[in-house]
A and B are shown apart, each in its own frame.
Chain A
Amino acid sequence: MILHTSSPRAQHAMLLYALTMRLSWFGDRSLRIEFDGASADERQGRVHAAYRHLRTQKVHALRDLTPAYRTLLLTFDPVYLEFAAAEKAVRMLLDSERLTPAAQAGKFVEVPVCYEAAHAPDLAEVASINGLSTDDVVRLHTQPEYTVCFTGFSPGFPYLAGLPAAIATPRLPHPRASVAAGSVGIAGAQTGIYPRSTAGGWRLIGRTPLRMFDGARHPPAMLAPGDRVRFVAIDSTRFAELDPAISKGEA
């Protein structure tokens, strides 16, 4: 490929990129890209940079992109897919200095969360397991800027990285049969938001009135991989004002 990089530093970054990527075929129509990196953050950054870049490019017959912790899966139309050509196109597009993760950051979203007991069935337990007060847990949970690693489990469910170690808590020993839509939970070192009512084993410390996923909306999910999130504490009055179901009298 043509080296259209200017600085030696950018060229060096590009070379490193080429060395840190492994391609393999998952089935007969999906290309799996696995990224290396010194840390989970570095690998995740590479996945997001590649995901954001490929989304904006015209890649022949590409139909879907699935980012995860260290892999990005590209799914192609089986009528038009050529294995070798697809691999070559992906290598060309990703061996570029445009892929510096910092230049490809996602959008920033503030998510209002009510941490009052009615919406936070496990908050007291998370506090006591970690030897903290519930106020401490809320303060620590609203402090960081989280990154959406990827979305999975159920449509629109964001896996957020960046939880303070002081409030990391294991999953419930027995998952709940039903979790209220909008519930904000902790599982190990991760935090996330249940977009709809499903079964679930994360410890619930609050609830957002925002509709995280709506199939009739475009785009349907509020958060995309690579987006940055901060939680903002609200009281139950504000929660009710923001809750579309309550304001429409459906709840």
Chain B
Amino acid sequence: MGTLLVHTPGPFSSLQDLGREGWSSIGLPRGGAADPFALRIGNRLLGNPDDAPAIEMTSVGGVFDFDDEAVMVLAGSAMGAEVHGPDGSVAPAQTFQPRWVAAGTRVMLTQTRSGFRAYFCIAGGVGTRVGMNISTGDVSLESSDVLSRRLCKGDRVEFGTGQTLPRRAVDCGAARALFEQYCMRREIRAVEGVHTEMFASCQVEKFWASVFGVSRRSDRAGIRLEGAMIAPRSEPVPGGAGRMETEGMVWGAVQVPQGGEPIVLMAEHPTTGGYPVIACVATVDFGVLGQLGFADGCAPIRFIKVSKHEALALYRERERRLDEVFGHHGQKFGQQTDRQGTRD
């Protein structure tokens, strides 16, 4: 157990676990890692429970100082990383390659080369669970920290407070291959939305045939798409009041506001919404959403229609493959407040 000093947080770094389910009726979405699959791979590489918290870094990483020895790994997007040892040594850190670091080590991360979000994972977890929040270890949390404890320069974050399992010898190449196969896709699998009757059929066809870019106005609540406009019907819908009533929303829902630029809801989405939903991203591809950035040279994306049965089968196949590579880990980092574990 030790303390990590945030020397530089990077543009948007926060403590994230797998979030919590069961609270949407009071307005709390699941939250947690924007790419839950990458976080789970990182945790499994270290022998952590799947839901152990880590630092989620967005586009550019930070600079962190260890005051104690630790085993750490970077999972997710490929950020440049250097490990400066207390003896003056400097070595590059490879993503998905766990390593031991001595007390006094500084880890410096830079711009991502592919993907958008990376997870800085430490054996035993980073941060402490307080109620449904992740705290740096100092329990005075602001109510605004409920969804994300954003890291600031000078923060001191406890690490290694949780249990770890004996680590299996893991092929890091297999971990990377899983991430690339499941999180670095440009074709996102999705099922038909619940409000397709609120679009003319040609608009629904246009949605599935279009390629989209990712707007800079995207965040952890939602990805704003650009490049193709999809028009919802403006005339009243038969049997409806013409205007949709606010209803429950889910991670992956593709909403289309009157303006025509779709929004894909993510980890911190509002729990309810009033825009029609044209499609809903398959759970297996949540990781893909988390890796969609607006960096230069980011290839456009498109949506592939699958049935809900196919979507669930893809998810279960991925879970089998994850367990094949790492063995089954389960989720029990510290105090659990929700009724069951949360899955991505």
Contacts and interface: CB of A to CB of B under 8 A. Distances in A.
Q: Are both chains from one complex?
A: yes
- A-B pairs, top 3 by smallest CB distance, nearest first, are A66-B248, A73-B248, A27-B280
A153 B272 contact: yes
Contact of A67 (B22, B25, B30, B147): B25
B24 A64 contact: yes
Contact of B308 (A25, A66, A181, A221): A25
A124 B102 CA distance: 64
A140 to B, nearest CB: 25
Interface stretch (B59-67, B83-91, B311-319): B311-319
A224 B248 contact: no
22 contacts: A26-B277, A26-B280, A27-B252, A28-B312, A29-B283, A65-B24, A65-B25, A66-B248, A66-B272, A67-B25, A69-B246, A77-B340, A77-B343, A78-B312, A151-B27, A152-B246, A155-B26, A213-B146, A215-B133, A220-B26, A220-B132, A224-B25
Nearest to B271: A152
Contacts of A218: 131, 337
Interface in A174-232: 181, 195-197, 211, 213-221, 223-225
Contacts of A28: 191, 280, 282-283, 308, 311-312, 315
B110 interface: no
A128 interface: no
Contacts of A75: 21, 24, 250
A210 to B, nearest CB: 13
A27 B24 contact: no
Contacts of A72: 248
Given A68-B246, A196-B144, 20 more contacts: A26-B253, A27-B252, A27-B283, A28-B312, A28-B315, A30-B250, A65-B24, A71-B248, A75-B24, A83-B309, A150-B272, A152-B27, A155-B27, A155-B28, A156-B26, A156-B27, A196-B143, A214-B143, A216-B130, A220-B26
B312 A63 contact: no
Nearest to A215: B146
A223 B316 CA distance: 37
Contact of A32 (B194, B272, B340): B194
Contacts of B277: 26
A69 B273 CA distance: 11
A81 B312 contact: yes
Interface in B4-26: 21-26
Nearest to B131: A216
Interface of B: 21-28, 30, 130-133, 139, 141, 143-147, 191, 194, 245-250, 252-253, 270-272, 277, 280-283, 308-309, 311-312, 315-316, 319, 337, 339-340, 342-343
A119 interface: no
B281 A27 contact: yes
A157 B246 CA distance: 14
Nearest to B139: A216
Contacts of A77: 340, 343
A153 B271 CA distance: 7
Contacts of B309: 83
Contacts, number: 161
A76 to B, nearest CB: 10
Interface string A68-100: 111111010111010100000000000000000
A26 B194 contact: yes
Nearest to A154: B27
Range class of the A interface residue count: 35 or more
A79 B25 contact: no
B21 A64 contact: yes
A225 B145 CA distance: 23
Contacts of A223: 26
A196 B147 CA distance: 13
**Of B146, B248, B277, B282, which is in contact with the most chain A CB atoms at under 10 Å from its CB?**
B248
B25 A27 contact: no
A179 B30 CA distance: 25
B26 A151 contact: yes
A24 interface: yes
Contacts of B147: 155
A68 B250 contact: no
B247 A151 contact: no
A51 interface: yes
Nearest to A77: B343
B131 A153 contact: no
Nearest to A66: B248
Given A27-B282, A83-B309, A150-B272, A78 B248 contact: no
Contacts of B337: 218
A152 B27 CA distance: 4
A74 B324 CA distance: 30
A32 B248 contact: yes
Contacts of A217: 131
Contact of A152 (B139, B146, B245, B270): B270
Contacts of B270: 152-154
